[in-house]
């Protein structure tokens, strides 16, 4: 509300000289806004737009830090520890945000309600921690199933599959089908039907979404860990079975996102559950052998009838200690504006504004880029219908860190799925108790 008032005032007084941005961002002459932005080649195109905001508002932007999210996470924790939160705007992420307590302000009331209303409602609700909108989403991430189209067009394979499994070979609708097809396609060590990330928070995220898709839950209403339920064992067993059947590369327990992405691009993986950010890479002949042969479908369903949809959003937050919250709000609004989300959507990032989804798809179709249009459509549906975040509690990372070594132990055969989950559950229960739940 405050911002709109200010904007109205700004409009009244503004000279007409500046090259018009679609929106008026206010006037902050001589002010220097200190920001920490996630760095990396994928994210730079947006920052190239910043001079437009500087020209419009008269403010200067000083990028005091630019790192990837894991490094930025460390840095923000150091800032909290050292009391050096002397900057205004920071890149944030829905999965990291709950850890930071109340260092960031509630954006409700600071960013105009009309602006917030233009965003995908689910993305906004996932950016909300304890009823506070601590971040404004920049772009979203969710995984869908990439596959090699040619594998499903081979008549001999189709017939062979039908006799073996009793149903038609088509891109899988359920995770049970994924398992069948993965085993069917695999020819180790040259070709594998599937792969998954096997370490860090990544494997835990994959387990977690499978747990939810199978109808289970991480915690009950009182925050007791319940992931060692039957649904949990079934979820973990999926990974264990694929590993034992050599339907995934034997190195997966050490894989992170770079390994799975590069693996699928190498053309020797049939099905790959992966993030939207890879789609451009997969379809680029310079980077990928499967370019032109990439199919995409919504993530399959688990035994609970729900699709997997572990999701998160890259976001921007404003610090509590910021000395010019209006300028900060204006900047965050600018970075997530329609025009700028279009800039990022053209590069393949998934937008968070409803209109950008539609317009980006239309633009890709208009340009004859059927692949990108298809990718956008698929991800639009899953972001609207399937996406869910990990539990938005500060203890999530800590719980995750006791879980994933146990998940790995089950995958490599050191423990059964039930033993591994029971052991992880016991440790998680201690953490939750120490943190003062139940």
Partner 1 sequence: MTVSVESGVSKQAKKVALWLTTFLLMLVMCLPGLWVVLSAFRPNREILAKPPVWVPEDLTLDNFGKIFGFGAEQVGIPVGSYFTNSLIIALTSTVIALIIGVAGGYAFARYRFRFKGGIFLGLMLFRAVPGIALSLPVFMMWSRLGLVDTKMGLIIVYVSLNVPFTIWLIDGFFRQIPPALSEAAQVDGCTRWQAFWKIEFPLAKSGIAAAGVFAFLTSWNEFALASQLTRSTDSKTLPVGLLDFTAQFTIDWAGMCAMAVIIIIPALILTFIVQKHLIAGLTFGGVKG
Partner 2 sequence: MIRALTTRRSEMAPFLLLLPAIATMLFVVALPLVFSLWTSLTPYKLTKPNTLYDFIGLTNYIRIFGDWDFWAAFLRTIAFLTVALNVEFALGLGIALLINKITWGQRTLRTIMMFPMMFSPILVGFQFKFLFNDHIGVVNNALQSLGLTDQAIPWLVDANLAMFSITLAEVWMSTSVFAILLLAGLFAMPRDPLEAARVDGCNSWQVFRHITLPFLMPFAYIAMAIRSLDVARAYDLVAVMTDGGPAGRTELLWTLIARTGYDEAKMGQANAMAYVSTILSVLFTWYFYRKLVAARRYMGGVE
Applying CB under 8 A, which residues contact partner 1? 36, 39-45, 48, 63-71, 74-75, 78-79, 81-84, 93, 141, 190-191, 257-258, 261-263, 265-268, 274-275, 277-278, 281, 285-289, 314
Alpha helices (runs of H) in 38-185, residue ranges in sequence order: 44-47, 50-57, 69-82, 113-117, 121-126, 155-165, 175-185
Do residues 103 and 67 touch, judged by C-beta distance below 8 A? no
CB of 192 to partner 2, least distance (A): 7
**What b-and-e string marks burial along 160-182, b requiring 16 or more CB atoms within 10 Å of the CB?**
ebeeeeeeebebbeebebbbbbb
Nearer to partner 1, 185 or 219 (CB): 185
Query: Of 32, 25, 28, which is closest to residue 11 (Cα–Cα)?
Result: 25
CB of 322 to partner 1, least distance (A): 17
Do residues 54 and 296 touch, judged by C-beta distance below 8 A? no
429 binds, among partner 1, partner 2, none (CB under 5 to 8 A by kind): none
How is residue 226 written in tokens? Answer: 């319940």
Give DSSP secondary structure letters for 217-265.
-SB-TT--B-TTSHHHHHHHHHHHHHHHTT-S-TTGGG--HHHHHHHHH
278 binds, among partner 1, partner 2, none (CB under 5 to 8 A by kind): partner 1
188 binds, among partner 2, partner 1, none (CB under 5 to 8 A by kind): partner 2
Q: How far is CA 416 from the centre of its chain?
A: 30
DSSP 289: T
Query: Of 327, 330, 326, 366, which is closest to residue 346 (Cα–Cα)?
Result: 366
Stretch that binds partner 2, among 5-13, 247-255, 347-355, 366-374 (CB under 8 A): 247-255
- Distance, in Å, from the CA atom of 206 to the CA atom of 213, rounded to the nearest integer, reads 11
CB of 94 to partner 1, least distance (A): 12
Q: Using the rule CB under 8 A, which residue among 54, 106, 359, 398 binds partner 2? A: 398
Contact between 84 and partner 2 by CB under 8 A: the answer reads: no
CB of 22 to partner 2, least distance (A): 38
How is residue 312 written in tokens? Answer: 């998160």
288 binds, among partner 2, partner 1, none (CB under 5 to 8 A by kind): partner 1
414 binds, among partner 2, partner 1, none (CB under 5 to 8 A by kind): partner 2
Contacts with partner 2, residue ranges (CB under 8 A):
73-74, 77-78, 80-81, 83, 99-101, 188-189, 192, 195, 198-200, 249-254, 259, 262-263, 266, 268, 394, 397-398, 401, 404-406, 408-409, 411-412, 414
């Amino acid at each position: 509300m405050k911002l709109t008032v200010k904007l109205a005032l700004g409009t009244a007084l503004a000279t007409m000289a500046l090259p018009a941005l679609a929106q008026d961002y206010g006037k902050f002459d001589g002010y220097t806004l200190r920001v920490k932005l996630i760095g990396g080649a994928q994210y730079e195109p947006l920052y190239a737009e910043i001079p437009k905001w500087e020209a419009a508002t008269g403010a200067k932007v000083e990028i005091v830090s630019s790192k990837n999210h894991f490094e930025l996470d460390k840095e923000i924790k150091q800032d909290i520890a050292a009391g050096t939160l002397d900057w205004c705007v920071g890149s944030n992420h829905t999965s990291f945000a709950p850890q930071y307590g109340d260092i960031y302000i509630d954006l409700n009331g600071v960013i105009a309600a009309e602006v917030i209303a233009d965003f995908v409602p689910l993305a906004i609700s996932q950016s909300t921690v304890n009823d506070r909108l601590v971040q404004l989403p920049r772009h979203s991430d969710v995984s869908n199933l990439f596959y090699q189209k040619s594998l499903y067009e081979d008549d001999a394979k189709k017939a062979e599959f039908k006799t073996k499994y009793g149903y038609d070979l088509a891109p899988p609708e359920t995770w049970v089908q994924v398992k069948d097809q993965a085993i069917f396609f695999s020819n180790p060590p040259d070709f594998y039907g599937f792969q998954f990330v096997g370490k860090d928070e990544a494997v835990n995220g994959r387990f977690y979404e499978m747990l939810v898709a199978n109808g289970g839950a991480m915690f009950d209403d009182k925050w007791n860990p319940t992931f060692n339920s039957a649904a949990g064992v079934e979820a973990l067993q999926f990974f264990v079975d694929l590993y034992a059947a050599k339907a995934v590369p034997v190195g997966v327990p050490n894989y992170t996102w770079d390994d799975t992405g590069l693996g699928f691009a190498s053309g020797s993986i049939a099905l790959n559950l992966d993030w939207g950010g890879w789609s451009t890479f997969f379809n680029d002949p310079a980077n990928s052998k499967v370019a032109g042969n990439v199919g995409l479908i919504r993530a399959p369903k688990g035994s609970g009838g729900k699709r997997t949809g572990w999701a998160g959003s890259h976001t921007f937050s404003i610090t509590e200690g910021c000395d010019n919250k209006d300028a900060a709000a204006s900047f965050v609004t600018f970075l997530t504006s329609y025009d700028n989300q279009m800039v990022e959507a053209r590069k393949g990032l998934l937008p968070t504004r409803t209109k950008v989804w539609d317009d980006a798809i239309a633009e890709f179709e208009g340009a004859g880029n059927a692949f990108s249009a298809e990718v956008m459509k698929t991800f639009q549906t899953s972001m609207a219908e399937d996406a869910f975040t990990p539990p938005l509690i500060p203890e999530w990372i800590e719980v995750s860190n006791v879980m994933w070594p146990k998940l790995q132990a089950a995958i490599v055969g050191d423990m059964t799925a039930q033993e591994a989950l029971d052991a992880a559950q016991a440790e998680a229960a201690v953490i939750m108790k120490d943190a003062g739940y139940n």
